[in-house]
């Protein structure tokens, strides 16, 4: 092409320089994205754990009630309801045979075209279930009841700790949290095969809550459990508990999908969950539990406890029983890297256990490895404590699309773990790194803004303390300090500031701008902004309390019950609300004036709207 | 409010930025980060070091007996110096555009994926296959299957 040799040499030099420039620039661009991805992760995790810490708030409320039991005004039925609701277990009036007959007699209409199970189950049944759920069908209530009933009967004869062996050169597959993500379970079965004699599985707890298909997941898992009792094993997780289900969505899901039989299912589920084994041991060498361990754990002692009595509601009432503490430790603890064993303040239950605690327990029982779940990990799994602890987590995209992979681990007779990762993808076209980061980040930031909104008055009061001249601005340092002291999420606020608040011309933060993007949603009952904020902040706790009062899960409570509950809760929080305001609120919510309140409608009113998202949707 | 422009304030603000960025990667909250994250942290603070630059910095930051972790006490002074001295200045958009234009020998106005791949995986501080794949997935126009580099710039 007529290029002289020197021109070619010169070009070569330039092209190397150009390449280096592009490489340097691109690596910086990727690092920037990685930083965003990482703090997005931190945001999700902080909010999740803070939410679990709110459980402590609820627990202290119940204690408060217990303490004030005798001091409540004589006419008030309020807390008597709650305590009796919570503590009284419903005594089953029907005998086994009668119950079984009752379920058999439930009529399934001809028009129902979903799976029809027959017990004892066969491979035809499990295949039918899998196909049906892939097609988004719902299993008829009759079969769910029968399935749960058979599962309960089966689990009753199981010990607290199950001992397995990898004989016949079989590899055992261990999966972690699924949290209602059916797609992940189906993906695991697709990649790794269905459970069978040649393909044994252990599912390590937290099958339900948060995701939308918890019902389908437990149906599949219990069906395989009954079909292959020697090759399918389920450990209990901290979410296999009535109180957790009230808070984190499983109860709601069941009641929505099964209006007729949901209540009875929930009753059976309470029993089934409490009967799930606590731990599995492979080859007397590998211990598998959902949360972790503590320095109090003794496996021999644990084998003797009456596990079906270990319910979270007793912890909430601070009924301290020695065995209950050990069980809570098994279900709630997290590993840490410093030595020692300390209470798990993040979660509100269980411990943080160090490598020395792991070493001690493994040694005591002649074990070599601990496999646990309970914590979401970006790669789906993580090793710690010098490889003696494996965390395995099987719900991909747990926080948001693209947030993390899921994984499972396989162990053969050599007990060398092999890890397999995957990620469910909603779109067929692969998202670029940038797109994945943006989606997850958007979601995390919205959650963070809601937190800011929920604490608006406290934040404004603190901001204004620094803003003596009332300029509407304070320094970045001051802003970060205030936000951390109020929200206590331990997040890198300076790095996040550009996404949350505006700077003025003088380089200081216009602190009111961090509330700009959020506005209250539907027109709410006439309450002051302060009260609205409080209601918004404690929405979830109120929901739990209402659900406890509403024993038959009808979605309705009486105005009297509403009044009493709210009075108690607000006096516990120290929020001054006069009786008239509560009465007005109650009356205005009682839309059909029949003396009862649909509390789901009530709570719906306290949602918030993200204005930017609305704008995007309108433009989009 | 204190005088924003005093040298002390600038140093304190800088150090707080560094601390925040460090904390994002300090998973165990014990003031250490994995040495493999150092490049990401430095770059996210606005610097554009080359791989060779990073190599030198990391050598400085590691313990005598490398542990795989870098402690905050060592990172802070090194990073403060880098930021205050404005080392590893940003690459401007003009410069980047020129770089692409150099590679576009035939002045087509775009680059073929194979061309770019050849340069970036063989010259300079070569990309790994993963880096190249990721860049192509973001940069290649799906309809025309070329990299319209002029579109990256305003």
Separation CA A173–CA A196 (nearest Å) = 11
Separation CA B56–CA B151 (nearest Å) = 35
Work out the average pLDDT over A268-274. 93
Q: What residues of chain B lie within 8 A of the CB of A46, using their CB?
A: none
N-term to C-term CA, chain A: 50
> In this complex, do B123 and A20 lie within 8 Å of one another by their Cβ atoms?
yes
Work out the average pLDDT over A283-306. 93
- Residue A44's pLDDT is 84
Backbone dihedral angles phi then psi of residue B32, each to the nearest 5 degrees: -135, 150
pLDDT reading at A451 higher than 90: no
pLDDT in tens, A358-413: 999 999 999 999 999 999 998 999 999 999 999 999 999 898 777 889 999 999 99
* DSSP assignment string, A315-361: HHTT---HHHHHHHHHHH-EE-SSSSEEE-TTTTSSEEE-HHHHHHH
Worst-scoring range by mean pLDDT, A54-68, A212-226, A253-267, B73-87?
Answer: A54-68
- Residue A150's pLDDT is 95
The beta-strand segments (E) located in A190-290 are 201-203, 232-234, 279-282, 286-288
Separation CA B42–CA B49 (nearest Å) = 8
Residue B130: exposure state from Cβ atoms within 10 A (0-12, 13-18, ≥19):
exposed
- Residue A2's pLDDT is 53
Q: What residues of chain A lie within 8 A of the CB of B100, using their CB?
A: 18, 22
- Residue A525's pLDDT is 55
Selecting from B13, B48, B137 the residue whose C-beta is nearest the C-beta of A28 gives B48
What is the pTM assigned to this prediction?
0.77
pLDDT reading at A69 higher than 50: no
Residue A467: partners with Cβ closer than 8 Å, 6 or more residues away: A473, A474, A511
Selecting from A22, A28, A507 the residue whose C-beta is nearest the C-beta of B99 gives A22
Q: Distances from the Cα of A183 to the Cαs of A26, A44, B72, in angstroms?
A: 34, 21, 41
> In this complex, do A337 and B28 lie within 8 Å of one another by their Cβ atoms?
yes
> In this complex, do B13 and A477 lie within 8 Å of one another by their Cβ atoms?
yes
| Residue A417 DSSP class | -
pLDDT in tens, B9-49: 778 888 988 998 998 888 777 788 888 899 999 999 989 99
The candidate with the shortest Cα–Cα distance to B83, out of B21, B153, B145, B147, is B21
Worst-scoring range by mean pLDDT, A7-16, A325-334, B48-57?
Answer: A7-16
The candidate with the shortest Cα–Cα distance to A511, out of A463, A546, A470, is A463
Q: What residues of chain B lie within 8 A of the CB of A481, using their CB?
A: none
Element (H, E) at A520: strand A518-520
pLDDT band at A67 (very low <50, low <70, confident <90, very high): low
The candidate with the shortest Cα–Cα distance to A477, out of A509, A454, A431, is A509
Residue A237: partners with Cβ closer than 8 Å, 6 or more residues away: A177, A204, A205, A206, A207, A290, A291, A331, A373, A374
Contact, A407 vs A419, CB < 8 A?
yes
Residue A554: exposure state from Cβ atoms within 10 A (0-12, 13-18, ≥19):
exposed
* DSSP assignment string, A420-435: EEE---SSSSPPPHHH
Most B-contacting residue of A1, A31, A378, A505 (CB-CB within 10 A), to test interface: A31
| Residue A276 DSSP class | S
Please tell me which residue, A530 or B144, carries the higher pLDDT value. B144
Q: Pairing between strand A596-598 and A509-510?
A: unpaired
Chain A CB within 8 Å of residue B125 CB: yes
pLDDT reading at A133 higher than 70: yes
CA distance A351 to chain B (A): 16
- Residue A511's pLDDT is 93
Q: What residues of chain B lie within 8 A of the CB of A32, using their CB?
A: 43-44
Contact, A493 vs A43, CB < 8 A?
no
The overall average pLDDT reported for chain B is 86
Residue carrying structure tokens 């606020």: A493
Separation CA A93–CA A108 (nearest Å) = 25
- Residue A342's pLDDT is 87
Most A-contacting residue of B37, B40, B72, B93 (CB-CB within 10 A), to test interface: B40
Work out the average pLDDT over B82-98. 87
Q: Which residue of A has its CA nearest to B52?
A: A24
Chain A CB within 8 Å of residue B73 CB: no
Contact, A582 vs A567, CB < 8 A?
yes
Rounded to the nearest 10 degrees, how much is the dihedral formed by the CA atoms of A360, A362, A368, A372? -110
Residue A448: partners with Cβ closer than 8 Å, 6 or more residues away: A43, A47, A491, A496, A500
* DSSP assignment string, A47-114: HHHHHHHHHHHHHHHHHHHHHHGGGS-TT--HHHHHHHHHHPPPP--S-HHHHHHHHHTPPPPTT--S
Separation CA A121–CA A522 (nearest Å) = 48
Worst-scoring range by mean pLDDT, A457-466, A595-604, B140-149?
Answer: A595-604
pLDDT band at A350 (very low <50, low <70, confident <90, very high): confident
> In this complex, do A23 and B13 lie within 8 Å of one another by their Cβ atoms?
no
pLDDT reading at B50 higher than 50: yes
Residue B64: exposure state from Cβ atoms within 10 A (0-12, 13-18, ≥19):
exposed
| Residue A411 DSSP class | E
pLDDT reading at A74 higher than 50: no
Residue carrying structure tokens 């590893």: B88
Contact, A273 vs A251, CB < 8 A?
no
pLDDT reading at A577 higher than 80: no
Work out the average pLDDT over A174-193. 96
Please tell me which residue, A116 or A80, carries the higher pLDDT value. A116
Q: What is the ipTM of this complex?
A: 0.91
pLDDT reading at A171 higher than 70: yes
Work out the average pLDDT over A276-286. 96
pLDDT reading at A600 higher than 90: no
The alpha-carbon radius of gyration of chain A (Å, integer) is 27
pLDDT band at A147 (very low <50, low <70, confident <90, very high): very high
> In this complex, do A22 and B100 lie within 8 Å of one another by their Cβ atoms?
yes
- Residue A620's pLDDT is 39
Q: Which residue of A has its CA nearest to B127?
A: A23
- Residue A394's pLDDT is 97
Catalytic site includes residue A233: no
Q: Distances from the Cα of A554 to the Cαs of A141, A166, A521, A541, A599, in angstroms?
A: 17, 48, 25, 18, 10
For the ranges A552-566, A573-587, B97-111, the maximum mean pLDDT occurs at B97-111
pLDDT band at A343 (very low <50, low <70, confident <90, very high): confident
Work out the average pLDDT over A433-456. 84
Separation CA A37–CA A39 (nearest Å) = 6
- Residue B40's pLDDT is 93
Selecting from A34, A39, A430 the residue whose C-beta is nearest the C-beta of B137 gives A430
pLDDT band at A48 (very low <50, low <70, confident <90, very high): confident
The overall average pLDDT reported for chain A is 83
What is the Cα B42 distance to its own chain's centre? 7
Chain A CB within 8 Å of residue B141 CB: no
Separation CA A232–CA A222 (nearest Å) = 9
Please tell me which residue, A39 or A203, carries the higher pLDDT value. A203
The candidate with the shortest Cα–Cα distance to A208, out of A161, A173, A254, A174, is A254
Set A239, A242, A385, A610: catalytic member: A239
Rounded to the nearest 10 degrees, how much is the dihedral formed by the CA atoms of A42, A47, A53, A57? 150
Separation CA A314–CA A324 (nearest Å) = 9
Worst-scoring range by mean pLDDT, A98-102, A176-180, A467-471?
Answer: A98-102
Please tell me which residue, B148 or A127, carries the higher pLDDT value. A127
pLDDT in tens, A485-514: 999 888 889 888 988 999 998 889 999 999
pLDDT reading at A605 higher than 80: no
Separation CA A30–CA A202 (nearest Å) = 38
Q: What residues of chain A lie within 8 A of the CB of B127, using their CB?
A: 23, 26
The candidate with the shortest Cα–Cα distance to A115, out of A128, A134, A105, A124, is A128
> In this complex, do B124 and A14 lie within 8 Å of one another by their Cβ atoms?
no
Q: What residues of chain A lie within 8 A of the CB of B67, using their CB?
A: none
Count of CB pairs separated by less than 8 Å, A with B: 119
- Residue A316's pLDDT is 59
pLDDT reading at A78 higher than 50: no
| Sign of the alpha-carbon dihedral angle for B108, B114, B117, B119 | negative
pLDDT band at A552 (very low <50, low <70, confident <90, very high): low
SS3 readout for chain B = CCCCCCHHHHHHHHHHHHHHHHHHHCCCCCCEEEHHHHHHHHHHCCCCCCHHHHHHHHHHHCCCCCCCEEEHHHHHHHHHHHHHCCCCCCCCHHHHHHHHHHHCCCCCCCECHHHHHHHHHHCCCCCCHHHHHHHHHHHCCCCCCCECHHHHCC
Respond yes or no on whether the N-terminal peptide bond of residue A553 is cis (omega within 30° of 0): no
Work out the average pLDDT over B126-139. 89
Q: How many CB atoms lie within 10 A of CB A514?
A: 23
Taking any CB pair shorter than 8 Å as contact, residues of chain A touching chain B are: 11, 14-28, 30-32, 34-35, 38-39, 42, 336-338, 430, 432-434, 475-477, 490, 492-495, 507-508
């Amino acid at each position: 092409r007529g290029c002289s040799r020197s021109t070619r040499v010169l070009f070569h030099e330039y092209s190397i320089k150009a390449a280096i420039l592009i490489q340097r620039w691109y690596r910086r661009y990727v690092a920037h994205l990685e930083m965003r991805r990482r703090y997005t992760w931190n945001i999700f995790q902080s909010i999740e754990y803070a939410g679990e810490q709110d459980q402590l708030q609820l627990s202290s409320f119940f204690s408060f009630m217990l303490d004030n039991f005798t001091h409540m005004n004589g006419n008030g039925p309020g807390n008597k309801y709650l305590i009796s609701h919570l503590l009284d277990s419903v005594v089953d009036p029907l005998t086994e045979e009668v119950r079984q007959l009752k379920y058999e007699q439930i009529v399934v209409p001809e028009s129902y075209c979903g799976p029809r199970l027959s017990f004892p189950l066969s491979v035809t049944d499990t295949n039918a279930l899998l196909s049906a759920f892939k097609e988004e069908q719902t299993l008829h209530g009759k079969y769910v009841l029968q399935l749960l009933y058979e599962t309960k009967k089966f689990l009753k004869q199981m010990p607290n700790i199950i001992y397995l062996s990898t004989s016949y050169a079989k590899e055992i597959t261990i999966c972690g949290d699924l949290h209602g993500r059916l797609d992940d379970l189906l993906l695991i079965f697709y990649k790794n095969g269905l459970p069978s004699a040649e393909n044994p599985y252990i599912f390590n707890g937290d099958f339900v809550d948060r995701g939308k298909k918890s019902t389908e997941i437990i149906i599949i898992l219990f069906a395989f459990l009954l079909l292959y009792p020697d090759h399918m094993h389920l450990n209990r997780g901290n979410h296999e508990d009535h109180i957790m289900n009230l808070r984190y969505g499983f109860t709601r899901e069941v009641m929505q999908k099964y209006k007729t039989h949901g209540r009875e299912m929930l009753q059976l589920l309470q029993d089934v969950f409490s009967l799930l084994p606590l731990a599995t041991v492979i080859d007397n060498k590998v211990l598998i539990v959902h949360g972790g361990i503590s320095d109090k754990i003794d496996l021999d002692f644990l084998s003797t406890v009456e596990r079906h009595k270990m319910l979270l509601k007793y912890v909430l009432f601070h009924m301290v029983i020695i065995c209950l503490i050990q069980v809570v430790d098994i279900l709630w603890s997290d590993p840490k890297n410093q030595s020692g064993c300390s209470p798990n303040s993040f979660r509100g239950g269980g411990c943080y256990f160090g490598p020395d605690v792991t070493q001690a327990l493994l040694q005591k029982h002649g074990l070599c490895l601990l496999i646990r779940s309970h914590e979401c990990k970006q790669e789906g799994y993580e090793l710690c404590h010098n490889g003696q602890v494996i965390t395995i987590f099987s719900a991909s995209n747990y926080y948001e699309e693209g947030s993390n992979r899921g994984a499972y681990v396989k162990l053969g007779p050599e007990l060398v773990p092999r890890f397999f990762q995957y990620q469910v993808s909603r779109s067929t076209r692969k998202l670029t790194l940038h797109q994945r980061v943006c989606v997850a980040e958007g979601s995390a930031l919205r959650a963070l803004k809601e937190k800011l909104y929920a604490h608006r008055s406290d934040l404004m009061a603190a901001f204004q303390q620094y803003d003596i001249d009332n300029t509407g601005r304070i320094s970045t340092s001051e802003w970060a300090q205030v936000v951390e002291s109020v929200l206590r999420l331990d997040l890198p606020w300076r790095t996040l500031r550009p996404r949350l608040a505006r700077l003025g011309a003088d380089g200081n933060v216009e602190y009111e701008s961090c509330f700009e993007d959020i506005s209250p949603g539907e027109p709410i009952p006439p309450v002051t902004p302060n009260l609205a904020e409080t209601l918004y902040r404690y929405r979830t706790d109120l929901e739990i309390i209402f659900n406890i009062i509403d024993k038959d899960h009808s979605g309705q409570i009486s105005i009297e019950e509403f009044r009493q509950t709210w009075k108690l809760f607000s006096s516990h929080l120290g929020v001054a609300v006069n009786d008239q305001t509560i009465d007005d609120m109650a009356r205005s919510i009682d839309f059909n004036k029949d003396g009862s309140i649909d509390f789901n409608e009530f709570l719906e009113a306290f949602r918030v709207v993200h204005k930017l998202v609305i704008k995007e949707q309108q433009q989009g | 409010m204190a005088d924003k422009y005093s040298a002390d304030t600038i140093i304190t603000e800088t150090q707080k930025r560094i601390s925040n960025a460090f904390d994002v990667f300090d998973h165990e909250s014990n003031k250490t980060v994995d040495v493999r994250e150092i490049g990401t942290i430095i770059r996210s603070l606005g610097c554009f070091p080359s791989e060779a630059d990073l190599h030198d910095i990391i050598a400085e930051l590691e313990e005598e007996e490398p542990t795989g972790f870098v402690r905050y006490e060592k990172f802070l002074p090194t990073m403060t110096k880098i930021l205050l001295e404005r080392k590893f200045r940003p690459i401007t958009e003009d410069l980047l555009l020129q770089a692409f234009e150099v590679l576009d020998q035939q002045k087509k106005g775009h680059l073929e994926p194979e061309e770019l791949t050849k340069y970036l995986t063989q010259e300079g501080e070569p990309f790994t296959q993963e880096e190249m794949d990721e860049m192509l997935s973001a940069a290649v126009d799906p309809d025309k299957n070329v990299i319209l580099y002029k579109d990256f710039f305003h």
